[in-house]
Amino acid sequence: MPEDYSLTAESRKLQRWTLEEARSLYERPFNDHLFHAHTLHRANFDPNRVQLSKLLNIKTGGCPEDCGYCSQSIHHLSGVKASKLMTPEQAVEEARNAKESGATRYCMGAAWRSPKPRDEATIVAMVKGVKALGLETCMTLGMLSPEQAQTFADAGLDYYNHNIDTSERFYPEVATTRTFKERLETLAYVREAGMKVCSGGILGLGESEDDRIDMLVTLANLPTPPESVPINMLIPMKGSKLADAAPIDPIAFVRIVALARVLMPRSHVRLTAGRSSMSDEMQALCFYAGANSIFIGDTLLTAANPGDDRDSSLLHRLGLTAETA
């Protein structure tokens, strides 16, 4: 008798996953793994709808962190110059354009270790201005204090993005200027303030398969799993520590997308950085495996993105349509 995949995650929702359990799911035959993931995806979402988000860099470069993948770090000779924080009017105008392109969520990112008190009023004004357009709002600004998290929540911020990047074991190989524990603390402050959490990781940093799996186990075992889980494929950035990193195997990437869907069946799983290097066929497998969110536009912060024409063509060929607000 075939296994009833649709009940697996629901029956486990009050239990914690172990690395061994998650690895056993990940290592199943590819067809079985994808079928399980797609069954759960179909049980929780319309499988032919994809959420469209837009990401705006509201403050570029000059970041004091040493994250090995990032072109905006002052520790890397990437050529990215530091800019001043955008005005609220600039951010809202960009958000208006994003809405006209079909985006329902608008994400704003600043290259900071954490927001400075002098910038909080500007961030609040951006959140309020974008929400007034009818868009969901998301910010990624680095680490937050409990007070900052509450300030942004009170302004109406819907989501806060703070990726854990990789496993706790491998994290010191990626960044040394902050700890894995500090990443989790920010996520806890965001949740306590009443905002939704957006948190995922990056594949291709030199991590092992167990590191990738353990990253997802960490997220799935949070008191409440993130509502949004970005899965990034490293784009090696010139001048960064990982500029010469070897590419990840596409099948391994799809397996992780499927595992994210199995461990967190009710979360949006987003294909994030790296889509410009993915074939249409690889993206199609990811959508089948449970990915149901992408960033539109031709850039992601300082990295390339496929652009609206290629995305529109691919979604049309696959019979996928945009998720409505």
294 bridge partner residues: 52, 271
Residues comprising the chain, all counted: 325
State the pLDDT at residue 242. 75
Residue with tokens 């204090």: 145
State the pLDDT at residue 7. 47
Q: Which of 295, 275, 273 is nearest to 283 (CA)?
A: 275
Active site residues: 63, 67, 70, 107, 138, 198, 270
Q: Pairing relation of β-strands 105-110 and 136-140? A: parallel
Contact 294, 254 (CB under 8 A): no
Task: Look at the alpha carbons of 125, 130, 136, 137 in this order and tell me if their dihedral is positive or negative.
Answer: negative
Cβ atoms < 10 Å from Cβ of 203: 24
> What distance lies between CA 274 and its chain's CA centroid?
12
CA torsion 122-134-185-111 (nearest 10°) is -50
Structural domain includes residue 10? no
Structural domain includes residue 86? yes
State the pLDDT at residue 15. 66
Structural domain includes residue 139? yes
Structural domain includes residue 122? yes
Q: Which two tokens stand for residue 106?
A: 């608008």
- pLDDT (tens, 9 = 90+) of the chain, 325 residues, equals 245 554 454 445 556 899 999 999 999 999 999 999 999 999 999 999 999 988 888 887 667 787 777 766 666 666 667 678 889 999 999 999 889 888 889 999 887 878 899 999 999 999 999 999 999 999 999 999 999 999 999 999 999 999 999 999 999 999 888 899 999 999 999 999 999 999 999 999 999 999 999 999 999 999 999 999 999 998 867 767 777 788 899 999 999 999 999 999 999 999 988 888 899 999 999 999 999 999 886 555 444 555 667 888 999 999 999 887 6
Round to whole Å and give the CA distance between 18 and 235.
30
Contact 78, 237 (CB under 8 A): yes
> What distance lies between CA 35 and its chain's CA centroid?
23
> What distance lies between CA 114 and its chain's CA centroid?
18
Round to whole Å and give the CA distance between 202 and 219.
13
For the chain, how many structural domains are there in total? Answer: 1
Structural domain includes residue 310? yes
170: helix, strand or coil: coil
User: How many distinct helices (H) and strands (E) make up the chain?
Assistant: 12, 12
Structural domain includes residue 17? no
Contact 34, 285 (CB under 8 A): yes
CATH number of the domain encompassing residue 156 = 3.20.20.70
Structural domain includes residue 19? no
Contact 200, 225 (CB under 8 A): no
Burial of 102 (0-12, 13-18, 19+ CB in 10 A): middle
268 bridge partner residues: 228
160: helix, strand or coil: strand
State the pLDDT at residue 275. 87
Please give the model's pTM, rounded to 2 decimal places.
0.88
Scanning the chain, the segments in alpha helix (DSSP H) are: 8-11, 19-26, 30-44, 88-100, 120-131, 146-154, 171-174, 180-192, 209-220, 250-263, 280-289, 308-318
Backbone angle region of 201, left / alpha / beta, with phi > 0 → left and psi within -120 to 50 → alpha = beta
State the pLDDT at residue 1. 29
Structural domain includes residue 6? no
Domain that holds residue 94: 28-316
Burial of 12 (0-12, 13-18, 19+ CB in 10 A): middle
First to last CA, the chain: 40
Round to whole Å and give the CA distance between 230 and 268.
8
Round to whole Å and give the CA distance between 65 and 82.
14
